[in-house]
Each structure stands twice: as C-alpha cells, then as structure tokens.
Amino acid sequence: MARRTSDSPPLFEIIAKPDFSFERSAMRDGHAPVAGMDEAGRGPLAGPVVAAAVILNPRRIPKGLDDSKRLTFAQRETLFDEILAKAEAVSMASVSAEGIDSVNILRASLEAMRRAICGLHIKPKMALADGRDVPPGLPCLGRALVKGDQRSQSIAAASIVAKVMRDRMMCGCGRADQRYGFEIHMGYATERHRSAIEIHGAVPRLHRASFAPFRIAAEAEIEVEALV
C-alpha cells in the first residue's frame, strides 16, 4: 500500500535560494540577454531610492547570490565586487528625496529601475523586476516576480548592487553631517534617527518631506496657522 503524503505544514520554513531558471526559460524563448532589476531604500525617512540592473554571464555566475536582506554586510561587499567583475553589464540609477516627494515612493522606485535598465551598455530583451509591478517605459519586455530577489539570481545580483551603493551614499551623508548617524541606520526610522530629527529638524533635499513624521508635522502646522 502506497504511503500517503502528509498534509501537515513543515516544522521549519524552507528558505529557497535564487537560481537561473527564469533567465534560462526567457533565453530559450529568444529573449536573450536577460537583465534583473531591483531597488533599495523604499522605506527610509531620508536619502534616495537606488536601483540596479544586472545582466549576468551564465557561465560566470557568482556563488552565494541571494536577497541582499538575507546577506551580511561582508557577504554583500564581496558579492558586489564579484558581480562587477563577472557580469556582462551592470547599471545603477537613483531618484532623490525631492523626486520621491514629487511623485510617490512606488513611482520613484519604478522610475529608478527604468533608468537603471536604460543605462545598461548591453540592451536586454527581457527584464525581470522584483515585486508586483513592471516599470513603465522599459526598452524591452518586462516581467514582475514577487520575491524575485529570492527566486532569480539576476534580481538577487541587482538587489545586492543597489543595497551596497545606497549604503555607501548614506555613509557619505553621515560624514557630511554627523548629527544624524546616517552611516549607522542608512536613513531608516530608528530611535536615534527620530531623536536627531526632533532636535535638529529635517535636512532639506535629504529627508523625505512626504513621509511621516514630516508630513504629519507639516499638516499640524497648517492647522495651527488656520486657527490663528
């Protein structure tokens, strides 16, 4: 008698690693080369959103590619160098805090990814995007993959490049203005960052005025002025 397959949930979450299957499938359909694209910095209160696009060399894929959030600082730095050395093409782009405020973070993120794809010196025929949305205006076919940085090695590579570049930019901001500790929290809403904002206020063109707490504070000031 055949043993029945259990329908019980696994005791431990099985964490999948990204592979090259989506890319190979697209290549078999005639859509080579294939680029992966991803962004870093959608959630912080300060700094740009940075995107990267990467066309991997199928014969020289760096080992250990994964979602940048699942890697350590040292692993990201090592893989960043490997990606730049081994990939067929790499491009980076960003949208500033002012640009984010003028549209919204989703549109700014998609625009940064579009710019990164357009900046590749090799034109891809297919671009794989992390998330649910394909950036509008791509010069090639596009496909969105939910949790793509954990499924596609090309997207994972792009996530690493975007994360490393944005972190380096925020460290530069920290050196330029030491009051906020940008080199520690990278612009995210940590207790230290919020405390610094309460003491020193927002930095023009660096903090995102459309994000809370800045938007809430601005709305409160308008209400007070209306009552005067």
pLDDT in tens, 122-152: 999 999 999 999 999 999 999 999 999 999 9
pLDDT-above-70 percentage for the chain = 87
Asked if 183 and 175 touch (Cβ cutoff 8 Å), the reply is yes
Q: What is the mean pLDDT of the chain?
A: 91
Token pair listed for 81? 């160098």
Domains of the chain: 21-175 (3.30.420.10)
pTM (predicted TM-score): 0.88
Q: What is the pLDDT of residue 213?
A: 74
Percent of the chain with pLDDT over 90: 86
pLDDT band at 16 (very low <50, low <70, confident <90, very high): confident
| Residue appearing with tokens 């989703």 | 106
pLDDT of residue 8: 57
Q: What is the pLDDT of residues 187-203, one digit of tens each?
A: 999 999 999 999 999 99
User: Quick one: pLDDT at residue 15?
Assistant: 61
Reported as a pLDDT band with limits 50, 70 and 90, residue 10 is: low
Q: DSSP labels for the chain?
A: -PPPPP-SPPSS------BSHHHHHHHHTT--SEEEEEEE-SS-SBS-EEEEEEE--TTSPPTT---GGGS-HHHHHHHHHHHHHH-SEEEEEEE-HHHHHHS-HHHHHHHHHHHHHHT-SS--SEEEEESS-PPTT-SSEEEEETTGGGTBHHHHHHHHHHHHHHHHHHHHHHHH-TTS-HHHHTT---HHHHHHHHHH-PPTTTB-TTSTTHHHHHHHHHHHHHH-
